[in-house]
């Protein structure tokens, strides 16, 4: 058995390739460096979905279609009652995504990409006693997310940096959430089901839940001079340093640099707290030095999540919503993979190796198995229980 399916190839894809030795990400034949420089999130969405729907939108049409989809899903914020708003932001967003049609056409797909972009700012505002802001189909997805969060138009630097983040997060090989999406799609369930499974996998701190804890680390360290001691204590307690390490990359995650550049652009126009950036850089240097010393056999480098935390904080997202913003970018990739799986793949059904106890040989005195169900039906209960006391599944 291969622990964590490490190195196992479980799908063939034309969508993206992660080269962990060279530190390179390719999305449908384009390098990440090229995409973040020349393409918007809408362009990348059109690229990812090309040929996967009978009417896949062109890059030119995508801006308007995604804008219309944001306006379509906005109505679901009416269902955000007190109970839903009391949940963590990702759980509340996921609950609203579950209201969307479970189709496999391009309209369903557009709504699923629009959903986290609209529900995240809407829920955050409702949680703060503010009315949600109507989406604007004239803006691109990134600018509209910031507009719906703050109630005013973002600066061009702010929307460009969020757009760069969405492009960077859009697809990344067979990561845990994308695999979850493909497993669900392989059963021929709809795109909403695949997206919900993916969002649930993304939530964990070992995957898309890391950037919030990155800020907790920075807050807890407080001063650059205290970084080494704080991080060493954490490692000595057996904790993982959030924002470092990756299953595939043995060198620096190229997405970390793409996001660092976005922060630098914001910093250049005074839209990032310079002290916060200096602290993060000092913590990164200290963490890399310690990880190299303490885990010499495992090259552990900065991953996407470290500078994502700083970027989303500078853009005004609260840390509990960071994973939802990740979902707003990755949704495009999840849907592309789900469609690719449905069109070309088989049911994903691996095997497990049983290592539990064997059944005890039965002695004649133990008698034969008597289903308790017959007693249960006499007492009016419909549940079926084995004589061992283990409920039947």
Q: Is 206 in the site for ligand ACO (CB under 6 A)?
A: yes
Q: With respect to ligand ACO, which residue has the nearer C-beta, 188 or 298? A: 298
Is the CB of 238 or the CB of 367 nearer to ligand ACO? 238
- Does an H or E element contain 112, and which? helix 106-127
203 binds ligand ACO per the rule CB under 6 A:
no
CA dihedral 181, 187, 188, 194 (to 10 degrees): -20
Neighbours of 22 (CB within 10 A): 11
Q: Directed axis angle between helix 106-127 and helix 89-97, to 10°? A: 140
Catalytic option among 284, 305, 313, 340: 305
Instruction: Using CB under 6 A, count the residues that bind ligand ACO.
Output: 19
Taking the complex as a whole, the smallest distance from the CB of residue 22 to ligand ACO amounts, in Å, to 18
DSSP SS3 for 18: strand
Which of residues 25 and 117 has its CB atom nearest to ligand ACO in the complex? 25
Query: Looking at 76, 147, 172, 246, which residue is catalytic?
Result: 246
Q: 51: buried, middle or exposed (CB in 10 Å: 19+, 13-18, 0-12)?
A: exposed
246 is catalytic: yes
Instruction: Please select the residue that binds ligand ACO; options are 1, 2, 4, 223, rule is CB under 6 A.
Output: 4
Residue number of the CB atom closest to ligand ACO:
245
CB 258, CB 33: distance < 8 Å? yes
Secondary structure (3-state) at 301: coil
3-state SS of 248-289?
A: CCCCCCHHHHHHHHHHHHHHHCCCCCHHHHHHHHHHHHHHHH
Distance in Å, CB of 206 to ligand ACO, minimum:
4
Is residue 241 within 8 Å of 355, Cβ to Cβ?
A: no
Minimum Å gap between C-beta 267 and ligand ACO is 23
What's the closest the beta carbon of residue 245 comes to ligand ACO, in angstroms?
A: 2
- Within 207-266, the residues that bind ligand ACO by CB under 6 A are 207-208, 210, 240-247
Q: Does 295 bind ligand ACO (CB under 6 A)?
A: yes
Interactions with ligand ACO, residue window 149-178 (CB under 6 A): none
- Quickly list H helices, 188-253: 191-202, 211-221, 227-236
265 is catalytic: no
Binding ligand ACO (rule: CB under 6 A), the pick from 170, 303, 341, 342 is 303
**Which residue from 38, 99, 138, 298 is in contact with ligand ACO, where contact means CB under 6 A?**
298
Using CB under 6 A, list all residues that contact ligand ACO. Answer: 4, 206-208, 210, 240-247, 295, 298, 300, 303-305
Return the active site residues.
246, 305
């Amino acid at each position: 058995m291969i622990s964590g399916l490490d190195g196992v190839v479980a799908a063939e894809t034309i969508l993206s390739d992660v080269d962990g030795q060279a530190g390179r990400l390719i999305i449908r034949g384009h390098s990440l460096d090229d995409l973040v420089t020349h393409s918007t999130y809408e362009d990348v969405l059109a690229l990812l979905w090309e040929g996967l729907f009978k009417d896949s939108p062109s890059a030119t049409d995508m801006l308007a279609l995604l804008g219309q989809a944001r306006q379509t899903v906005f109505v679901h914020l009416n269902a955000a009652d007190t109970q839903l708003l009391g949940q963590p932001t990702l759980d509340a967003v996921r609950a609203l995504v579950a209201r969307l049609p479970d189709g496999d056409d391009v309209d369903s797909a557009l709504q699923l990409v629009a959903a986290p972009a609209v529900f995240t700012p809407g829920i955050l505002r409702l949680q703060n006693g503010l009315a949600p802001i109507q989406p604007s189909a004239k803006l691109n997805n990134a600018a509209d997310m910031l507009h719906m969060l703050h109630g005013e138009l973002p600066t061009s630097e702010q929307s460009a940096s969020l757009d760069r983040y969405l492009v960077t997060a859009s697809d990344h090989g067979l990561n845990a959430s994308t695999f979850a999406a493909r497993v669900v799609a392989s059963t021929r369930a709809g795109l909403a089901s695949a997206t919900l499974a993916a969002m649930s996998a993304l939530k964990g701190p070992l995957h898309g839940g890391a950037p919030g804890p990155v800020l907790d680390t920075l807050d807890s360290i407080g001063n650059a001079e205290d970084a080494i001691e704080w991080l060493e204590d954490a490692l000595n307690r057996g904790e993982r340093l959030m924002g470092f390490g990756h299953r595939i990359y043995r060198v620096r995650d190229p997405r970390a640099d793409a996001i660092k550049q976005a922060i630098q652009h914001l910093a250049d126009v005074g839209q990032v707290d310079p002290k916060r950036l200096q602290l993060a850089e000092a913590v990164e240097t200290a963490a890399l030095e310690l990880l190299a010393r303490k885990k010499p056999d495992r090259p552990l480098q900065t991953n996407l999540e470290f500078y994502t935390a700083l970027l989303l904080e500078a853009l005004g997202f609260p840390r509990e919503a960071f994973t939802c913003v990740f979902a707003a970018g990755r949704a495009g990739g999840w849907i592309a993979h789900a469609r690719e799986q449905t069109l070309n793949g088989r049911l994903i059904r691996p095997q497990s190796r049983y290592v539990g106890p064997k059944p005890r040989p039965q002695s004649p005195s133990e008698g034969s198995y008597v289903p308790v169900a017959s007693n249960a039906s006499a007492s009016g209960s419909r549940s079926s229980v084995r004589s061992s006391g283990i409920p039947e599944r």
